[in-house]
Structure 1
Amino acid sequence: MTQKTKNNPLRITAFVDGRPGHEKQTRGIVNALARCTDVAVEYVPVGCRGVGREIGNWLRLLHVPLPDPYRSAGQGCDLVIGTGSATHIPMLLLKRRSGARAVTCMAPDFLLRRGMDLCFVPRHDGLAGDANIFLTTGPPGTATAGDHHDHHRGLILIGGVDEKSHYWDSFDIIQMVETIIQRYRSFSWTISSSPRTDPQTVDFLARIAENHDNVVFYRVEETPAGWIEEAYQQHGTVWVTADSMSMVYEALSASCRVGILPVRWKKQQSKFRNSIDYLVAERLVQTYEDILTDREMVARSSHLDEASRCAKEILRRWWPDRLP
């Protein structure tokens, strides 16, 4: 049931699937809503997708009278939100029970898309805008603009192997990292690996840190939750390998100057490649080729804050009296 007055909190039920990237998108919008209006939030874990779970969800959606494990969630909520396919049917079932508005990030399966009141979809996914499709410049996230960046500190974030999307060449990556460090010798550099970084690349990165007094390297298992968000706030410049697009958008949202280290894509056209082309064309990021030709880093001229854009779109549509 839709909230009638802004004097009461906007009641939100957020389904989360345990995947950090998905949860950041959901929490980013919820946090942005909380900056605009009072909210009361319930987070409901749904677990990973499984064949049995998926069949049960579809049967419930088709009104087969099966027990609903989330029946007690979202009592009287105004808004149900979630990211990731495992959240979609539980969201729609709650919408049906409560009359709440259902909002998701990324495009659900076609059969479920019509049931969503609003889908926040990155432009690089290639969908056209529609009544319930709101296009974003990359995914929303939890990173927020920082005003204490040290512009003589740089952060290098290394992705890794993904058999579906790109070829990974440790030697190429290490050569690019070395070139950047040499190009900006006056900087203090922090390098971090990711869960996909292969052991060979990790060893090379550790060796770079050993050989340079101005470089520190952290293995991903050494970085606790929240480390990356704090790092964005501290470093004025961030370089990210092109396969780690979520971190590119997080760094942009934190108002960092961002450069992209290229990888060799397996497909001529992909959403990641399209996304990079868009960011380069809009002069939002720097390319590695710019370094080779001595072009200076792009100065941050605008702040990317898609989480706030999404939150304000939700309020504009259904609760305009809650807009700041």
Structure 2
Amino acid sequence: MNILYVSDAKAGHRAQALGLWQAMQRAYDGEITFQEININKIPLFPLLLSCLSKRYAQINIAPDYIFSVGSHTQLRTLLLGRVYPRAKTVVLMKPNYPFSCFDHVIVPEHDAVGQRENVIETLGALNPIVNQLQHKSQRILIALGGSSKRHVWQTDSILAALQQITLANPNAQIILTTSRRTPESFLTLLKQQSYVAQIQIFPVEDTEQGWIFQQMQQAEAVWVTEDSVSMVFEALTAGCRVGVIPLQRLKQDRITRSIDSLVDKQWLGKTFSLNDLPQAQSINEADRVARSLLIK
């Protein structure tokens, strides 16, 4: 079986595609190859011509599935579906085109797209994490985001939250990392705080790809700023107990309501004590979606 992934080179999108491919490998009794092709290498005019020849030169093996993640990848995925009509097109987001244009649409339930025959709703975006059952007691990971279209970063409140986490968990090993959206000045201010001696700091620019996934496998608990919704679901999938660090909200929408819903269901906690966090959940949406695709 062969999977073609139409890529926009964004790490978060690629993680979704890899997560589904790896889950299909686990569920399929045979080999599944994976070819990634960047949209910059798929100019539209030659692709349109390929719809007539039923072959595209840069694709090594005719695909059985064509994955698409990201708005700019969808048109090329539709056209590649015409080039390879036996392939099933799979878009891992709410599409910009009619849902009927794709064979399968994988979409987070908070997008509220409604019941459709070709839609599979998921708890958050898919990811490549599998709980490896390697969590270490009293090991904490803190993952910081930044301002977004829904949230405003407030340095003072974040520093106060970090102080409360360190005070509430005096015997814990605490590891902290940032994101590309974290203000550059924040770590300078953090290093001036008296409690920082309890925290090991790993700026995102100093970490390798996949580093944070490895840390989640070892952490008993993860605190995430509430703007980082994908990281919340990654931590839940890894089997961690998860807390959210509140940020000021600019608006209420489907994303903020999804966080509130997880708190109400006691999947997430707003406490700063590890012992008071909800117990870890057991979810693996990539495996569930993979099984569903393979039987359809």
Q: Residues 53 and 83 of structure 2 are in contact (CA less than 8 Å); yes or no, is this contact kept in structure 1?
A: no
Asked if 1:193 is matched to 2:186, the reply is no
Given the superposition, is the C-alpha separation of residues 68 and 76 from structure 1 closer, same or farther in structure 2, using an over 3 Å criterion? closer
Letter in 2 for 1:157: A
Separation in 2, partners of 1:264, 1:69: 51
Structure 1 residue 15 displacement after superposition: 1.2
- Give 1:321's aligned residue: none
Separation in 1, partners of 2:107, 2:265: 19
Separation in 1, partners of 2:277, 2:239: 13
Q: Residues 94 and 107 of structure 2 are in contact (CA less than 8 Å); yes or no, is this contact kept in structure 1?
A: yes
Letter in 2 for 1:14: Y
Given the superposition, is the C-alpha separation of residues 124 and 48 from structure 1 closer, same or farther in structure 2, using an over 3 Å criterion? farther
Cα RMSD for the two superposed structures: 2.7
Q: Residues 29 and 311 of structure 1 are in contact (CA less than 8 Å); yes or no, is this contact kept in structure 2?
A: yes
Given the superposition, is the C-alpha separation of residues 237 and 113 from structure 1 closer, same or farther in structure 2, using an over 3 Å criterion? same
Q: Which runs of 5+ in 1 are unaligned?
A: 1-9, 318-324
Tell me the SS of whatever aligns to 2:101.
Answer: coil
Asked if 1:255 is matched to 2:239, the reply is yes
Query: Paired residue for 1:141, among 127, 135, 140?
Result: 127
Query: Paired residue for 2:136, among 133, 150, 154?
Result: 150
Q: Residues 170 and 200 of structure 1 are in contact (CA less than 8 Å); yes or no, is this contact kept in structure 2?
A: no
For residues 51-104 of structure 1, what are the alpha-carbon distances to aligned partners after superposition, in whole Å with 9 as ceiling and x for unaligned? xx7xx47x967x898999955326421111121112211111111121200011
Query: Paired residue for 2:26, among 31, 35, 48?
Result: 35
- Give 2:276's aligned residue: 296
- Give 1:243's aligned residue: 227
Given the superposition, is the C-alpha separation of residues 74 and 14 from structure 1 closer, same or farther in structure 2, using an over 3 Å criterion? farther
Tell me the SS of whatever aligns to 2:192.
Answer: helix
Residues paired across the two proteins, number: 293
Structure 1 residue 22 displacement after superposition: 0.6
- Give 2:164's aligned residue: 179
1:12-51 mapped onto 2 (5 Å cutoff): 12-37=3-28, 38-47=31-40
1:1-324 mapped onto 2 (5 Å cutoff): 10-37=1-28, 38-47=31-40, 56=44, 71-73=57-59, 75-99=61-85, 100-109=87-96, 111-162=97-148, 164-208=149-193, 211-268=195-252, 270-287=253-270, 290-291=271-272, 296-300=276-280, 302-317=281-296
Q: Residues 51 and 83 of structure 2 are in contact (CA less than 8 Å); yes or no, is this contact kept in structure 1?
A: no
Tell me the SS of whatever aligns to 1:207.
Answer: coil
Tell me the SS of whatever aligns to 1:199.
Answer: coil
Structure 1 residue 126 displacement after superposition: 2.1
Structure 1 residue 190 displacement after superposition: 0.4
Letter in 1 for 2:282: H
Structure 1 residue 252 displacement after superposition: 0.7
Separation in 1, partners of 2:98, 2:242: 36
- Give 1:6's aligned residue: none
Tell me the SS of whatever aligns to 1:114.
Answer: helix
Separation in 2, partners of 1:76, 1:212: 54
Tell me the SS of whatever aligns to 1:308.
Answer: helix
Letter in 1 for 2:18: R
Separation in 2, partners of 1:223, 1:26: 22
Separation in 2, partners of 1:310, 1:106: 13
Q: Which runs of 5+ in 2 are unaligned?
A: none
Q: TM-score, normalised by structure 1?
A: 0.83
State the percentage of identical aligned residues: 29
Q: Residues 166 and 195 of structure 2 are in contact (CA less than 8 Å); yes or no, is this contact kept in structure 1?
A: no
Given the superposition, is the C-alpha separation of residues 85 and 70 from structure 1 closer, same or farther in structure 2, using an over 3 Å criterion? farther
